[in-house]
Structures are given as structure tokens and as C-alpha cells.
Amino acid sequence: MRHLAMRFRGILRGGDVENLDGRLDDARRSGIYGMQRFARRLKRDRDAVRNALTTRWSHGQTEGQINRMKMLKRAMYSRAGADLLRARMLPL
């Protein structure tokens, strides 16, 4: 399992998309349930995985801001009105 995981890690670090299908087939034939399930899940979204490996675009900043807003909303839920929530979300 470690050997297969390290091979997938190499694909992620190096962006070697050509070997992705071969690695997925190796994982599927490995006989290890966790690796087989991992390969099945990746094959479902193969195009998204390929795009993630080949493009430099990321949604990290957006996701971080969404998580921050959700945290503030949960913390303020039923404790204050819209004015206090707006004051906490928009810096001075």
C-alpha cells in the first residue's frame, strides 16, 4: 500500500498526468480494499483530477473566505443583529 501511495504522491508532486491511468489500474488490481476504493473514486472524476494536476488555478482563497464567514455566522447566530455581524465581517 505504501508503494502505491508513494507512486500517487509522485503524480501529484510532478504533475505526471500520463501515468495516472496506469497507477489507477495498479491500485484497482492491488487487492487492497482502500486502494481499490480510492481508484474507483478518482476514476469517477478523472477529468477534474487531470485538470487539478495540469492547471495552476486554485480555489483556496475563496474557500478560506467562505469558511471564515461561516465561522463568524455560527459564532454570532442568535446573539446579535445584522449590524454587529456586519461590523465583525468588514474590517474598519
Q: pLDDT digits over 32-63, tens only? A: 999 899 889 988 888 888 888 888 777 778 88
Mean pLDDT of 59-82: 78
Considering the domain architecture, whether residues 25 and 67 belong to the same structural domain is answered as no
Considering the domain architecture, whether residues 34 and 11 belong to the same structural domain is answered as yes
Q: What share of the chain has pLDDT > 70, as a percent? A: 90
Considering the domain architecture, whether residues 44 and 66 belong to the same structural domain is answered as no
Considering the domain architecture, whether residues 47 and 9 belong to the same structural domain is answered as yes
Question: How many separate domains does the chain show?
Answer: 2
The pLDDT confidence band at residue 92, using thresholds 50, 70 and 90, is low
pTM of the model: 0.55
Is 33 within 8 Å of 40 (Cβ atoms)? no
Q: What is the mean pLDDT of the chain?
A: 82
Residue holding cell 505504501? Answer: 2
Q: What is the DSSP letter of 17?
A: G
Q: What is the domain extent for residue 73?
A: 60-89
Q: What is the DSSP letter of 1?
A: -
**Is a pLDDT exceeding 80 seen at residue 75?**
no
Residue 32 CB burial class (10 angstroms; 0-12, 13-18, ≥19): middle
Residue 52 CB burial class (10 angstroms; 0-12, 13-18, ≥19): middle
Residue holding cell 446573539? Answer: 79
Considering the domain architecture, whether residues 10 and 30 belong to the same structural domain is answered as yes
The number of beta carbons lying within 10 Å of the beta carbon of residue 35 is 19
Considering the domain architecture, whether residues 49 and 31 belong to the same structural domain is answered as yes
**Is a pLDDT exceeding 70 seen at residue 7?**
yes
